[in-house]
Structure 1
Amino acid sequence: MKKSLFLFFLLMVSAVGFTQEAEVKYDEALAKSLHADEYGMKKYVFCLLKSGTNTTVSKEESKKLFEGHMANINKLAKEGKLAVAGPFMKNDKNYRGIYIFNVETIDEAKALVATDPAIQANLLEAELTPWYSSAALQEITKIHNKIARTKM
């Protein structure tokens, strides 16, 4: 019986210790640096990229425009204006990809969308809407750069 009580006690102490280790503490400096509100959230602009109306562009020109599209994505990410970007897999909705802009207004996002060569050439069309999510989303680029063996 004593052995059973001792094992139970040991198990309980271990569980309490694990719970305390897993508890994450609020980091005020980080929250402020990410412009997080009291919930750790902030405003973004979500952009749904769809196939555009330009269907007559040559393959060579399309390739060049999409190279510019990728260069623009990398530029905006380095500037901290683009939190997330990525393509959709093949689908029947003409959805091509998303941007999550690290800006608060549609007008700010429109200015950023206007810098994309594929959108300028109407190969892609952008649909913008305000979005509210974790301020930590801004950290994805830093983490991604640590895990991507091959850089785009």
Structure 2
Amino acid sequence: MAATLICFTIGFHTNAQTNTSVYDKALADSLGADEYGMKMYVLVMLKTGTNQTTDKATTDSLFKGHMQNISRLVSIKKLVVAGPLQKNEKNYRGIFILDVNTLEEARLLINTDPAIKAKLLDADMFLWYGSAALPEYLPYHEKVQKQSH
């Protein structure tokens, strides 16, 4: 038992040293990371809004604008994650993770979305503490997407 504990302790200590040796201060600073490599974001849960229009041309146009707005928010480095959810009992439709510090900043950004303005979608927002490296995956997305929206 004591030998196992010593081996575990040595392994943990070695692993901890390895993690600190790969620390990149310049990268951490450029991403706004705290000492744990984390930062604050806003998690947006998109849900069905109060506008229940069935006019296909209208909804198609608004959701086309929704997708264009997503691309715009990515291009200005404010949106780091977006995606739809499968049908569920809470009527949640999708998520955004916005690279902003406050709910007010997030509200200003999501109000630029035509589907939200038209109330086809509504949003619940939460401050969320996650990895500061999250935006780093974005350049790879274009390399793995065969078709754009």
Determine if the TM-score, normalized by the shorter chain, exceeds 0.5: yes
Residue 47 of structure 2: SS of its match in structure 1? strand
CA distance in 2, matches of 1:146, 1:59: 32
2:120 is matched with 123
1:109 is matched with 106
In the alignment, residue 44 of structure 1 is paired with which amino acid?
Y
Give the Å deviation of 1:57: 4.5
- TM-score under structure 2 length normalisation: 0.84
CA distance in 2, matches of 1:93, 1:35: 34
CA distance in 1, matches of 2:142, 2:30: 20
Percent identical residues: 53
Residue 46 of structure 1: SS of its match in structure 2? strand
CA distance in 2, matches of 1:30, 1:57: 48
> Larger Rg: 1 or 2?
1
In the alignment, residue 28 of structure 1 is paired with which amino acid?
K
Residues matched between the structures, number: 133
1:132 pairs, out of 110, 114, 129, with: 129
CA distance in 1, matches of 2:137, 2:59: 29
Gaps spanning 5+ residues in structure 1: where? 1-18
In the alignment, residue 38 of structure 2 is paired with which amino acid?
M
CA distance in 1, matches of 2:139, 2:53: 38
Distance 1:151 1:56, change over 3 A: closer
- TM-score under structure 1 length normalisation: 0.82
Note the 1:44-63 alignment, pairs <5 A.
44-63=41-60
1:74 is matched with 71
